[in-house]
């Protein structure tokens, strides 16, 4: 397989826009924007603060607009679309909330309209250390919402020591027939090149966890996983010092970690860059210095028609929302909107608005809509 040339998305031209914000009466939120093309003007949008959560990690909208939000420490919240009030959902499993571990992703099943099934990922302790888990349950709503019949359908293997690089993002293929799970290298590096285990991989399996198989490998910490409307699977991945990646995921492909990276190892150790003919798949876009991509959305709404089919990445250390133009299997120009806080999650609302979760103690839930003309 041939490596692809990638343009460093950190080489940008500076432009600044001021975006109106309904920030609880605090007035205007200033958002600096950069773009990789001098011919492209940054989009503009309004930012509204819609709530606050404790160390949130992921979110998923129900068909009526209510919102599920996970908190890493082990709480699943259900936010009412009309009142903005949130209640805790019962029946959530015990989680190992240490380091990067805890309660992770939440995604509605393709069959949610018929069976109210939701999928969760979290971290558990066990023999050998800790590991990521994926389970599914029926969401019972009402005054006291709860998860019923929770069952574990996949476990990261092997369990190892340490509290980092679980990844555990969840995605379903467009046909709703297969479940995909990102599985980080657990900061162990070399297992990512060993297909006898599931560390450093993206896994594919049936909706019930049956017939699990390694779909791709050589990954470090893929914290974003999303199918585009055209059926292509994309993943955003944290590199070491530099070399954060946006990858087009192909079956049986090797993405090179830790043999190659467009970043450097911590402490100054050098890693060979991706190069044509090295046998590894290079990223479609990469970032040096790091932006720490923590999530990925492929936009399909109507409110931002110029972004339809494009990637939106939540940047942690970059404290930004990053837009990457996608054209089929190719990543083009980028726009970076400096949000001033670590962005953990990006999701699309039922009306096409873009929702963000700020990371850590601040935990603001933000709603982005087009700026009024």
So which residues are the catalytic ones? 165
Cα 259 to Cα 4, 186, 274, 276, distances in angstroms: 16, 16, 9, 14
Q: Alpha carbon of 139 to those of 54, 59, 105: distances in Å?
A: 22, 14, 15
Q: Residues 135, 207: contact at Cβ < 8 Å?
A: no
What are the CB-based long-range contacts (under 8 Å, 24+) for 9-13? Answer: 9/36, 9/285, 9/286, 9/287, 9/322, 9/324, 9/334, 10/287, 10/288, 10/289, 11/36, 12/36, 12/334, 12/336, 13/37, 13/38
Which positions ≥6 away from 27 have C-beta within 8 Å? Answer: 21
Q: CB neighbours of 156 closer than 8 A, spacing ≥ 6?
A: 131, 132, 133, 166, 168, 183, 186, 198, 199
DSSP three-state, residue 27: coil
Sign of CA dihedral 276, 34, 300, 173: positive
Place of tokens 């709480």: 75
DSSP element (H, E) containing 315? strand 311-315
């Amino acid at each position: 397989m041939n490596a692809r040339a990638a343009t460093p998305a950190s080489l940008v031209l500076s432009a600044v826009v001021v975006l109106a914000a309904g920030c609880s009466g605090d007035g205007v939120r200033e958002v600096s924007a950069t773009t990789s093309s001098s011919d492209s003007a940054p989009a503009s949008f309004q930012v509204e603060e819609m709530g606050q959560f404790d160390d949130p990690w992921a979110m998923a909208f129900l068909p009526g607009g209510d919102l599920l939000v996970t908190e890493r420490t082990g709480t699943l919240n259900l936010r009412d679309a009309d009142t903005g009030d949130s209640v805790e959902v019962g029946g959530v499993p015990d989680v190992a909330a240490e380091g990067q571990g805890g309660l992770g992703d939440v995604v509605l099943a393709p069959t949610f309209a018929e069976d109210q099934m939701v999928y969760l990922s979290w971290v558990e302790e066990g023999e050998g250390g800790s590991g990521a888990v994926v389970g599914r349950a029926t969401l019972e709503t009402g005054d006291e919402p709860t998860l019923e019949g929770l069952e574990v359908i996949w476990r990261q293997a092997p369990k190892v020591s340490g509290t980092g690089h679980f990844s555990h993002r969840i995605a379903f293929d467009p046909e709703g027939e297969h479940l995909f799970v990102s599985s980080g290298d657990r900061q162990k590096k070399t297992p990512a090149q060993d297909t006898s285990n599931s560390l450093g991989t993206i896994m594919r399996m049936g909706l019930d966890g049956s017939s699990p198989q390694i779909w791709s490998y050589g990954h470090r910490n893929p914290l974003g996983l999303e199918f585009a409307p055209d059926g292509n699977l994309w993943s955003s991945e944290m590199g070491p010092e530099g070399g954060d990646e946006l990858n087009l995921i192909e079956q049986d492909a090797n993405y090179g970690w830790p043999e190659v990276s467009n970043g450097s190892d911590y402490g100054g150790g050098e890693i060979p860059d991706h190069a044509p003919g090295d046998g590894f798949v290079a990223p479609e876009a990469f970032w040096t210095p790091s932006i720490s991509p923590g999530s990925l959305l492929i936009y399909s709404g109507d409110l931002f028609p110029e972004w339809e089919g494009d990637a939106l990445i939540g940047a942690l250390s970059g404290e930004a929302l990053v837009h990457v133009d996608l054209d089929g299997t190719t990543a083009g120009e980028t726009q970076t909107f400096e949000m001033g806080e670590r962005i953990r999650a990006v999701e699309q609302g039922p009306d096409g608005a873009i929702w963000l979760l700020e990371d850590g103690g601040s935990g603001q839930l933000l709603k982005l809509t087009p700026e009024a003309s």
